[in-house]
A and B are shown apart, each in its own frame.
Chain A
Amino acid sequence: LAKTTQPISMDSYEGQEVNITCSHNNIATNDYITWYQQFPSQGPRFIIQGYKTKVTNEVASLFIPADRKSSTLSLPRVSLSDTAVYYCLVGDMKNTGFQKLVFGTGTRLLVSP
């Protein structure tokens, strides 16, 4: 599973757009990029997944450049309820097996009024 690097923490204010970047320099051809969100005292929750270019859903957008060595999770107009830890994962579970799934320590986002 490709190792990922994320900022430990980020601060923002309500209504702002937040971009969290994840570096994965040794990403493999078959690897997908997945982001999870975790609120205090809850289990992680799937946000978005992508392979290349841009993916958008009702919660966030995921931008992946052509070389796929990094990705950016974009949260539009954050609110206080977006305060959480965000995890970037990279891997192809079918080929590498679930044993190597590693969440890392994630990025702690704090949204203030």
Chain B
Amino acid sequence: DAEITQSPRHKITETGRQVTLACHQTWNHNNMFWYRQDLGHGLRLIHYSYGVHDTNKGEVSDGYSVSRSNTEDLPLTLESAASSQTSVYFCASSPRMERDTQYFGPGTRLTVL
């Protein structure tokens, strides 16, 4: 069955280190998204992509970057991790023609010490 996966599921890192979170989907969806979820804030959009080589900033993009070299993957990089980036990160994807319906991965819990 087609799916969306994230790795690692849990990550502990130190302030200042570069961290990359992986997201892989096998639905061949054009659109992919990264969100972070913190208590009291719901989900907030970090970056999104409409297709290969396309990336766009979301609501809370500072300190994060993404690249889209193929349809299946959208890795999220924290260039220099900060304690404020401790959060749960969700990746999602959606087909080009489907209204709003996004399919979410299981999440990555990141702790920055």
In Å, the complex CA distance between A41 and B43 comes to 13
B104 touches A44 (CB 8 A): yes
In the complex, residue of chain B having the shortest beta-carbon distance to the beta carbon of A32? B99
B82 on the interface (CB 8 Å rule)? no
In the complex, residue of chain A having the shortest beta-carbon distance to the beta carbon of B4? A43
Contacts of A13 in B (CB 8 A): none
A87 touches B42 (CB 8 A): yes
Complex interface bits, A28-47 against B, C-beta within 8 A gives 1, otherwise 0: 00001010000001111110
Complex interface bits, A91-103 against B, C-beta within 8 A gives 1, otherwise 0: 1111000110111
Other A-B pairs beyond A46-B103, A99-B45, A103-B43, 8, CB < 8 Å: A41-B106, A42-B107, A44-B43, A46-B102, A91-B100, A98-B31, A99-B48, A102-B42
22 A–B contacts from the bound complex (CB under 8 Å):
A34-B99, A34-B100, A41-B106, A44-B104, A46-B102, A49-B100, A87-B42, A91-B100, A94-B99, A98-B33, A98-B45, A98-B48, A98-B50, A99-B45, A99-B48, A99-B56, A99-B59, A101-B100, A102-B45, A102-B59, A103-B42, A105-B42
Complex interface bits, A75-103 against B, C-beta within 8 A gives 1, otherwise 0: 00000000000010101111000110111
A101 touches B42 (CB 8 A): no
Contacts of B45 in A (CB 8 A): 98-99, 101-102
A104 on the interface (CB 8 Å rule)? yes
Interface size class of A (residues with CB under 8 A): 20 to 34
Contacts of B101 in A (CB 8 A): 34, 46, 49
> Which chain B residues in 9-63 approach chain A with CB under 8 Å?
31, 33, 35, 40-45, 48, 50, 56-59
In Å, the complex CA distance between A91 and B100 comes to 8
In Å, the complex CA distance between A99 and B47 comes to 8
CB contact under 8 A between A43 and B90, given known A49-B100, A98-B45, A99-B57:
yes
Contacts of B104 in A (CB 8 A): 42-45
In the complex, residue of chain A having the shortest beta-carbon distance to the beta carbon of B40? A105
